[in-house]
Structure 1
Amino acid sequence: MNQQAVNDKDLKEKIAVNFGSAAPEYHKQATLQKEAAERLIASLKPWRDILPKGPIIELGCGTGFVTKGLATLYPNREIVATDLSPRMVEYCQEQLSDFDNLTFAVRDAENVPEGEPEYALTISGFTAQWFKDPAQTLGKWLEAIKPGGLLLTSFPGNESFPEWKQKCEELGLPYTGNELPDIEELVVKMSLGPAQIDYYEDTVTQTFESAEQFFREFKYIGASTQKKGRALTPKELSLLIDHWNESADGDITVSYHLVFLAVKRDYDS
């Protein structure tokens, strides 16, 4: 196993552990993710009766925001809810034990099944940003979908956090947020396959009492894992927080670039 593979494995283990340990807090505090999940399920409703036969698979079920909507919308269809984190899978199963059409599995979404297309729908809420190559991974999942089936996903896009980036620039500090998917690049790459692609972008703002509260939220919900690059030193982080707080008029505002992507696999593929 080469060093890159080792590093990728270590990173995934860290992501799984951080999200798993934060599962109860994630379920209570991940309001943006819950809102995005509700919008993702709402966008799926017109497809309820026209998907081909076959199971549904969810990538990155977390604590069950999307999963609950799926189980309610498709009570007579097999749904497999998966996540990289064993604790997240366990927590999700505990939350949704009343649904008998759900099965659960610990799974790395970047390991895509090969062979004949199996799924009618692959759905993923706020997970694709953790993939090493979102376009490649989603493209492979599209190949696992039956003709006429759908790949549906949401994620924060690369135009998120302009305020954070601006404050770093003002201080000459590196921006240390994780790289997020570029929707235009992703669509171009996925358009090479037999698919019809549609997407919707939105900007959602959240307010925090302080910059420190904003940064703490990442840790509270388990999303603080840094994929690459260096972290700010404690002194640099303190400088950034103080500068951001001082330049704000009361609460600070943070903007998220939300992307909703729908890819239908063509029948002639």
Structure 2
Amino acid sequence: MTEDQGKLTTSKKQEIQHHFGKASSSYDKNANLQRQIADRLIASLEPWKAIIPEGPIIELGCGTGFVTEGLAELYSNREIEVTDLSQKMIECCRQKFPDTPHLRFSQMDAEYPPHEDPHYALTVSGFTAQWFDDPALTLGKWLRATKAGGLLLISFPGNESFPRWKKYCRELGLPYTGNTLPDVEEVVIKMSVEPSQVDYYEDTVTETFSSALDFFRSLKNIGASTQKEGRALSPSELSLLIDHWDSQSEGPVKVDYHVVFLAVKKDF
């Protein structure tokens, strides 16, 4: 497979785009985890604020603007390209920043960087890399598009997320239908191929829901319900899983996210 040939079909990309666009109006009310991770991502950028080189900044997968807000405040004198696969998300984000001329909004598939040569001083993406066909490969492209002394700063849910969901599927003999999430080791190795300094931090963040059904509904309400591969559970299988998950929970249903923060500084 070449870098330009992905596993995701055009129809699957369109499905991802459609679901996020449809959820743009409900996203802010339901994306509590994403907001929390965005705040932490921006906070981790503070030490780098004054030392990145001259040049534009780009945000991949802006959503409704959780990360965008922090970037606009930290870099009020820089040109910032704000991008997303979903045009509806872009429009929703744009409406939040009516008086910020240094922000430029555009629809873009982040798997295809517009510049192959070093161009950006800073590339930031909050909880988007898991939707890439090949996260390590795509982030490698963005590192190559980063200037010497520049920074690639990313957060994403890692492959150790959702242990309870996986466990209960095994107990019932059902297929686990969550999407394959980025492998931290693979991403770090890929980032280390280029002359760079790679730092990363892993954490477990737990969300609680009144039931397993509410958890699955929350994925739909933020647009994250597209199943990239494999078959979906039948209604009866899903009902069986929900009932079993609820019965195994003492009180609220807990969902664990393996959260990864990755900072890659391009060497001079």
TM-score band, normalised by the shorter chain? over 0.9
Partner of 1:51: 52
Shift of 1:7: 5.3
Give the whole-Å Cα distance in 1 for the aligned partners of 2:46 and 2:248: 44
Query: Does residue 240 in structure 1 map to residue 238 in structure 2?
Result: no
Partner of 2:74: 73
1:150-178 CA distances to partner (integer Å, 9 max, x unpaired)?
Answer: 00000000000001011111111111000
> Any conservation in 1 of the 2:143–2:191 contact (CA below 8 Å)?
no
Shift of 1:247: 1.6
84-93 or 109-118, larger mean C-alpha shift: 109-118
TM-score normalized by structure 1? 0.96
5+ residue gaps, structure 2, are none
5+ residue gaps, structure 1, are none
Shift of 1:116: 3.2
1:218-259 CA distances to partner (integer Å, 9 max, x unpaired)?
Answer: 111110000000010000000000111112112111100000
1:30-87 CA distances to partner (integer Å, 9 max, x unpaired)?
Answer: 0000000000000001111111000000000000000010000100000000000000
Give the whole-Å Cα distance in 2 for the aligned partners of 1:183 and 1:106: 28
Query: Does residue 261 in structure 1 map to residue 262 in structure 2?
Result: yes
110-119 or 131-140, larger mean C-alpha shift: 110-119
The list of structure 1 runs, each at least 4 consecutive aligned residues, that deviate by more than 6 angstroms after superposition, is none
> Any conservation in 1 of the 2:8–2:133 contact (CA below 8 Å)?
no
Shift of 1:100: 2.0
Partner of 2:168: 167
**Matching of residues 113-262 of structure 1 within 5 Å:** 113-262=114-263
Partner of 2:37: 36
AA aligned opposite 1:74: Y
Give the whole-Å Cα distance in 2 for the aligned partners of 1:157 and 1:218: 16
Give the whole-Å Cα distance in 2 for the aligned partners of 1:28 and 1:99: 24
Give the whole-Å Cα distance in 1 for the aligned partners of 2:247 and 2:267: 53
Give the whole-Å Cα distance in 1 for the aligned partners of 2:6 and 2:197: 33
Give the whole-Å Cα distance in 2 for the aligned partners of 1:169 and 1:189: 31
Identify if the C-alpha distance between structure 1 residues 7 and 46 changes in structure 2 by more than 3 Å, giving closer, same or farther.
Answer: closer
User: Matched residues, percent identical?
Assistant: 64
AA aligned opposite 2:224: A
Instruction: Give the root-mean-square deviation of aligned CA atoms.
Output: 1.2
Shift of 1:13: 0.9
Give the whole-Å Cα distance in 2 for the aligned partners of 1:52 and 1:67: 20
AA aligned opposite 1:198: D
Shift of 1:98: 2.5
TM-score normalized by structure 2? 0.96
Shift of 1:195: 1.1
Q: Secondary structure at the match of 1:98?
A: coil
Give the whole-Å Cα distance in 2 for the aligned partners of 1:114 and 1:92: 24
Give the whole-Å Cα distance in 2 for the aligned partners of 1:244 and 1:91: 35
Aligned length: 264
Shift of 1:5: 6.6
AA aligned opposite 1:66: V
> Any conservation in 1 of the 2:61–2:125 contact (CA below 8 Å)?
yes
Identify if the C-alpha distance between structure 1 residues 5 and 120 changes in structure 2 by more than 3 Å, giving closer, same or farther.
Answer: closer
